[in-house]
Structure 1
Amino acid sequence: MCGIAGIFHLDVPKPVDPARVAMMTDAIAHRGPDGEGVWTAPGVGLGHRRLSIIDVEGSPQPMASADGRLVTVFNGEIYNYKALRAEMEARGCVFRTDGDTECILHGWRLWGPDCVRRFTGMFAFALYDQAEQTLFLARDRLGVKPLYFAELGDGTLLFGSELKALTAHPRLRREPDVQAIEDYLAFGYVPDDACIVAGVRKLPAAHHMTLRRGRPLPSPVRYWDVVFSADAKGSAADLGDELVQRMRAAVRSRMVADVPLGAFLSGGVDSSSVVALMAEASRQAVETCSIGFDVAGLDETGHARAIAQRFATAHRERTVSPDDYGLIETLAAAFDEPFADASALPTYRVCQLARERVTVALSGDGADEALGGYRRHRFFEAENRVRSLLPASARTRVLAPVAAAWPKADWAPRRLRAKSTLEGIARTPEEAYARAVGITTPEGRAALYTPDATRSLAGYRAEERWERAMAKAPAADALGRAQYVDLTRWLPGDILTKVDRTSMGVGLEAREPLLDHELVQFEATLPLSMRLRRGEGKWLMKRAMRRYLPDDILYRPKMGFVTPVAEWFRGPLAQEAERVVRGSALAETGWFDAATLVRVAAEHRAGRADHGRLLWQLTMLDRSLKRLFGY
């Protein structure tokens, strides 16, 4: 695991100052504390920071081919590198190192851009071909590893693992993109096809891009996609056996490391499954760690402890409390762009805890997206069944007015809180799901904006890109379309960004075996009834894992990594909420209505409404605006 950065002159091969490349890699030194390197040639400069995982003493980067024609910098792991190496050696390739980086050089020579199709793993890399005067950029299929890029006015292209690598370059203009603010307020993060700094882009997951000297910046090319075909044949027992077999292979491939290795353990189905399969494959006790909360209703450490005892792991745990709010500056620095998933705080803490003993930790991320495990999947499918019984005209004429009149009763028993359900059924599936994923509704955002901000948005609405992506998703059923946008938008933008920044912030490599692309594609072939049945998400996975895990782990209500920010903003952090809404960077932007912000904080503090997530969003946005733009 590492950090990469570089400069490429698209027009003419002007000299590249090595010190400027080093400045960019220094900004991401936390990603690679074990080594650094810079390579330059006319018109190009590549920089690298290394966290040594495989071939610890060898494989320095930037790495050049034996003849000097090719040079690469690489962030990530290629898990099938040993099999690739054997194939390449059979075709005459000679290796000088024992790591996976050299496979990129030989892969490019053998297959060109199609080499990425041969790689199984998580990666973002750049490869410069001196003979062709081309720079090749690529990102892994699910977007585990990030890659930012921007073109300057003089035809210079900058790229880096994090936004801070680009902002370290003195000629990058820093101006906020108001559409990215709209995206952030809608979903709690800035999506992969946007950036809060205008003009900066992210290479999409499962895409590559070949830059050629003398030609304009090209569009990224997709090299892989997941298809929710739902056409797998076989009994539940047979498909369940295949699922476990594929999970086992994915876990074992990600246990290859030349440094200490462990796992995050929340006590939920996914992390418990990963730990069970790790324990099966390991000759020694698996190192596990978990984070709890000082709010009993959100604490899962008891479940994690039970799994640790079941598989005799070397287990450690810690508790997150309001005192950990002091981490907010650390998180703002780690993410650069505003990031409002409050579970980033405990995720950072669990990464710190893991790093005390290991350099690599396996996580359970990815199963919910691929197997319909979120509560919103269950609600969405139930709404679809009702929606299919009612003509669109009836839903619009009858349900929409009823939903508008129905009171919003967050305080009432769940069965009486029908407003959001009625609103969802009245809308199209795409509109309903985009809202279900969101944090702040279009109406709620509109109330926050000043007239100037509304004019700047010019009618732009964050949900539109979700709706378009879902409408065109390669899926056989509506739930598959929802899962597709989860995998291609929510996962890289929120979940994987969170894990990458928090783990790399402490020099830890996080690996996600449940996001093995062949495993994900197999899961996408499962019929709807094996993903979600009778309101039970991840149905086949839970059934198949009963050979390893008890029912009280498999079938307990899903909790998630929830941080009690609502309680904190009514108690020890109430003054912080006041500071943010009254005298923060938000006021200086001119985008937000001051009276509305003050009302939001007052309503939350008094218990008249739950604005905890919105206040966390505003707090993280405040910090990001200050750091990036000096408000």
Structure 2
Amino acid sequence: MCGIAGIYHLETPKPVDPARVEAMCDAMVHRGPDGHGVWTAPGVGLGHRRLSIIDLAGSPQPMASSDGRAMLVFNGEIYNYRELRQELRKTGAMFHTDGDSEVILAAWQRWGPECVSRLHGMFAFAIYDCEARTLFLARDRLGVKPLFMAPLSDGSLVFGSELKALLAHPLLRRDVDPLAVEDYLAWGYVPDSRSMIKGVMKLPAGHSLLLQHGKSLPAPRQYWDVSFAERRKGRVEDLEAELLHLMRQAVTSRMVADVPLGAFLSGGVDSSSVVALMAEASSQAVRTCSIGFDVAALDETAYASQVAERYGTDHQARQVSPDDFGMIDTLAGMFDEPFADASALPTWRVCQLARESVTVALSGDGADEALAGYRRHLFQHGEDRVRALLPQSVRGPVFGTLGAIYPKADWAPRPLRAKTTLLSLAGDSAEGYARAIGFTSPELRESLYSPEYLRLRGDYRAETPLLELMRGAPARSGLDRAQYADLKSWLPGDILTKVDRTSMAVSLEAREPLLDHRLIEFAASLPESMRVRSGQGKWLMKRTMRRFLPDDILYRPKQGFVTPIAQWFRGPLAQVARDACSSAQLARTGWFDSRRLSGLVDAHLAGTSDNSRLLWQLLMLEKAFTKLGIA
């Protein structure tokens, strides 16, 4: 795992200052403490920070192809590089290292831009073709590895693994995109379709970009997509066997490393499944680690210990407490853009714990998105049945009116919190899902904004791109479209951003075997009954793993990696909540109704509403603005 950065002149091949590229790389030293390099030529500069994982001494970057025609900087891992190397050797390719970087170069020379479809792994890379004088940028299918880009006033395009690399370039203006604030408040993260800084772009997952001197910046080209439009047929036993084969293949391929390797173990279905398959494939005890909380209702360490004991892992556990909130500035600095998923804190802590003994850790991320494991998927499946029974002309007025008058009863037992469900049923399937996954509802956001911000936002609504994505999805049902949206938006924007930044902050490589694209494609083809059945998500996966894991791991209610911020804000962090909503940084923007924000804090501290997620959002927004120097 590494960090990459570069400068490419689109208009004319002006000289590139190596010191400027080096400064961009130095901003990401945490991504690659084991080595660094810079290469420049007329019109281009490439930089690299290396975290050594495979071929520890033999694959320095930037790397030249065997004939010197192409130069590469690469972040990630190619899991099928050995098979590709054998195939490419048969066509005359020569190799001088044992790593995967040289395989990418040979694949580029053999297949050109189509090489990305042959690569199985997580990656973001740049290849400069010295003869054609083109720059090729690519990002992996699911967006595990990030890639930021921005055109500058001197006619160049800068790119890097993190926004902070681009911010190291003096020509990048730090103007806020006001529409990114709308997106952030809606989802809790800034999606890949936008950046907090105007003019900065993120190469979408499953896309590539080919640049050429003298030509304008083209649109990215999509080379991979997942389809939910087909339905696989066959006996349950056969589908179960195929799923197990794909999971085994995904796990074992990600266990290749020349450094110590382990796994995150939360005690949930996904991480426990990964650990079980690692233990099956390993001749040594698997190293595992988990994080717990000082709030008993949210602590899963007992389940993690149960799995660790079952498979004889070398297990470590640590507890997170409110005192860890003192590291909020450090946490905010990892993400550059505001990021409100509060589980980033324990994720960072488990990465720190893992890094004490390993350099690579496997995680269980991806199964919920691929196999319908979230509670919201069950709700979506059930709500669509109601939608099928009642026409929109009936549902809209009836459920819309009921939802509008139903109180937002955060204090009530979950079955009585019906407001969101009623409002979801009032709209179509896509509108209902957008409301279900939102951090803040459209109505709440509207009440937070000042007249000045409403003027800046204009007609734009954060939900619009998601609705277009779902309605245009290659899918058959509302559940299909919901999962497609998760894989395309939520996964790269939230889950994978969280894991990448927190793991890279401690120079740890995180690998996600359950996001192997072949596994994702298989899961998308399963009938709905193989994903959701009898009130259970991930039905086929749970059935498949019965031989490996006990029922109290497989079938207990999903808990998730939750941080107890609601309790923290009402206890030792109450003053932090007040400070967040009276912040001079937020007030300086003029975009929020300060009295409305204060009222939300008062209601949360009084216990009449749970506004903890919004308070955390505002706090992280303030910290991001401060870090970026844009407010």
Query: Which amino acid in the other structure matches residue 147 of structure 1?
Result: L
Shift of the alpha carbon at 1:101?
Answer: 0.1
Partner of 2:136: 136
- The unaligned stretches of length 5 or more in structure 1 are none
Partner of 1:214: 214
Matches for 1:447-486 after TM superposition, within 5 Å: 447-486=447-486
Shift of the alpha carbon at 1:327?
Answer: 1.7
Q: Which runs of 4+ in 1 moved over 3 A?
A: none
* Mean Cα deviation higher: 184-193 or 390-399: 390-399
Distance in 1 between residues matched to 2:397 and 2:44, nearest whole Å? 61
Partner of 2:549: 549
Partner of 1:302: 302
Shift of the alpha carbon at 1:33?
Answer: 0.3
Distance in 1 between residues matched to 2:225 and 2:470, nearest whole Å? 14
Partner of 2:109: 109
Shift of the alpha carbon at 1:474?
Answer: 0.5
Query: Which amino acid in the other structure matches residue 42 of structure 2?
Result: P
Partner of 2:629: 629
Shift of the alpha carbon at 1:614?
Answer: 0.4
Partner of 2:12: 12
* Mean Cα deviation higher: 532-541 or 417-426: 417-426
Distance in 1 between residues matched to 2:564 and 2:379, nearest whole Å? 24
Partner of 1:395: 395
Distance in 2 between residues matched to 1:393 and 1:360, nearest whole Å? 54
Distance in 2 between residues matched to 1:620 and 1:492, nearest whole Å? 19
Distance in 1 between residues matched to 2:418 and 2:610, nearest whole Å? 17
Partner of 1:247: 247
Shift of the alpha carbon at 1:19?
Answer: 0.3
Percent of residue pairs bearing the same amino acid type: 66
CA displacement 1:93-141 (0-9 Å, x = unmatched) = 0001110000111111100000000000000000000110100000000
Preserved contact between residue 6 and residue 158 of structure 2 (Cα < 8 Å): yes
Query: Which amino acid in the other structure matches residue 569 of structure 2?
Result: F
Partner of 1:599: 599
Partner of 1:363: 363
Shift of the alpha carbon at 1:426?
Answer: 1.0
Partner of 1:496: 496
Query: Which amino acid in the other structure matches residue 495 of structure 1?
Result: I
CA displacement 1:286-308 (0-9 Å, x = unmatched) = 00000000000000000000000
Distance in 1 between residues matched to 2:153 and 2:111, nearest whole Å? 33
Give the root-mean-square deviation of aligned CA atoms: 0.8
Matches for 1:416-427 after TM superposition, within 5 Å: 416-427=416-427
Shift of the alpha carbon at 1:601?
Answer: 1.1
Distance in 2 between residues matched to 1:625 and 1:541, nearest whole Å? 42
Preserved contact between residue 294 and residue 320 of structure 1 (Cα < 8 Å): yes
Partner of 1:35: 35
Preserved contact between residue 176 and residue 629 of structure 1 (Cα < 8 Å): no
Distance in 2 between residues matched to 1:95 and 1:560, nearest whole Å? 44
Partner of 1:145: 145
The reply on whether 1:381 has 2:381 as its aligned counterpart is yes
Shift of the alpha carbon at 1:397?
Answer: 2.5
Q: Residue 592 of structure 2: SS of its match in structure 1?
A: coil
Preserved contact between residue 66 and residue 94 of structure 2 (Cα < 8 Å): no
The reply on whether 1:71 has 2:71 as its aligned counterpart is yes
Shift of the alpha carbon at 1:39?
Answer: 0.2
Distance in 1 between residues matched to 2:630 and 2:215, nearest whole Å? 35
Partner of 1:56: 56
Query: Which amino acid in the other structure matches residue 118 of structure 1?
Result: R
Shift of the alpha carbon at 1:413?
Answer: 3.0
Query: Which amino acid in the other structure matches residue 443 of structure 1?
Result: E
Shift of the alpha carbon at 1:563?
Answer: 0.2
Preserved contact between residue 79 and residue 121 of structure 1 (Cα < 8 Å): yes
CA displacement 1:203-247 (0-9 Å, x = unmatched) = 000000000100000000000000013511111111011101110
Distance in 1 between residues matched to 2:309 and 2:398, nearest whole Å? 55
Partner of 1:409: 409
Q: Residue 393 of structure 1: SS of its match in structure 2?
A: helix
Preserved contact between residue 189 and residue 493 of structure 1 (Cα < 8 Å): yes
The reply on whether 1:118 has 2:118 as its aligned counterpart is yes
Preserved contact between residue 175 and residue 629 of structure 1 (Cα < 8 Å): no
Distance in 2 between residues matched to 1:335 and 1:583, nearest whole Å? 20
Shift of the alpha carbon at 1:411?
Answer: 2.5
Distance in 1 between residues matched to 2:340 and 2:489, nearest whole Å? 16
Preserved contact between residue 230 and residue 528 of structure 1 (Cα < 8 Å): no
Partner of 1:165: 165
The reply on whether 1:282 has 2:282 as its aligned counterpart is yes
CA displacement 1:370-426 (0-9 Å, x = unmatched) = 000000000111110011000110112322212222232223333333222221111
Distance in 2 between residues matched to 1:66 and 1:367, nearest whole Å? 39
Query: Which amino acid in the other structure matches residue 26 of structure 1?
Result: D
- The unaligned stretches of length 5 or more in structure 2 are none
CA displacement 1:419-475 (0-9 Å, x = unmatched) = 222211111111110111111011111111110000000121101111110000011
The reply on whether 1:613 has 2:613 as its aligned counterpart is yes
Q: Residue 582 of structure 2: SS of its match in structure 1?
A: helix
Preserved contact between residue 360 and residue 511 of structure 2 (Cα < 8 Å): yes
Distance in 2 between residues matched to 1:20 and 1:204, nearest whole Å? 26
Shift of the alpha carbon at 1:534?
Answer: 1.8
TM-score (norm 1): 0.99
Distance in 2 between residues matched to 1:517 and 1:423, nearest whole Å? 35
* Mean Cα deviation higher: 275-284 or 225-234: 225-234
Query: Which amino acid in the other structure matches residue 461 of structure 2?
Result: R
Preserved contact between residue 369 and residue 483 of structure 2 (Cα < 8 Å): yes
Matches for 1:529-608 after TM superposition, within 5 Å: 529-608=529-608
CA displacement 1:329-358 (0-9 Å, x = unmatched) = 111111000000000000000000000000
Aligned residues: 631
Shift of the alpha carbon at 1:73?
Answer: 0.1
Matches for 1:200-239 after TM superposition, within 5 Å: 200-239=200-239
The reply on whether 1:85 has 2:85 as its aligned counterpart is yes
Query: Which amino acid in the other structure matches residue 236 of structure 2?
Result: A
Distance in 1 between residues matched to 2:278 and 2:133, nearest whole Å? 44
Distance in 1 between residues matched to 2:414 and 2:32, nearest whole Å? 48
Distance in 2 between residues matched to 1:55 and 1:584, nearest whole Å? 50
Partner of 1:189: 189
Shift of the alpha carbon at 1:630?
Answer: 4.5
Shift of the alpha carbon at 1:282?
Answer: 0.4
Distance in 1 between residues matched to 2:615 and 2:453, nearest whole Å? 19
TM-score (norm 2): 0.99
Partner of 1:325: 325
Preserved contact between residue 149 and residue 203 of structure 1 (Cα < 8 Å): yes
The reply on whether 1:348 has 2:387 as its aligned counterpart is no
Matches for 1:331-342 after TM superposition, within 5 Å: 331-342=331-342
Partner of 1:271: 271
Preserved contact between residue 411 and residue 607 of structure 2 (Cα < 8 Å): no
Q: Residue 123 of structure 1: SS of its match in structure 2?
A: strand
CA displacement 1:516-561 (0-9 Å, x = unmatched) = 0001101111000000112200000000100100000000000000
Q: Residue 533 of structure 1: SS of its match in structure 2?
A: coil
Partner of 1:527: 527
Preserved contact between residue 259 and residue 359 of structure 2 (Cα < 8 Å): yes
Preserved contact between residue 267 and residue 300 of structure 2 (Cα < 8 Å): yes
Shift of the alpha carbon at 1:611?
Answer: 0.5
Query: Which amino acid in the other structure matches residue 193 of structure 1?
Result: S
Q: Residue 75 of structure 1: SS of its match in structure 2?
A: strand
Distance in 1 between residues matched to 2:539 and 2:230, nearest whole Å? 14
Preserved contact between residue 144 and residue 492 of structure 2 (Cα < 8 Å): yes
Partner of 1:24: 24
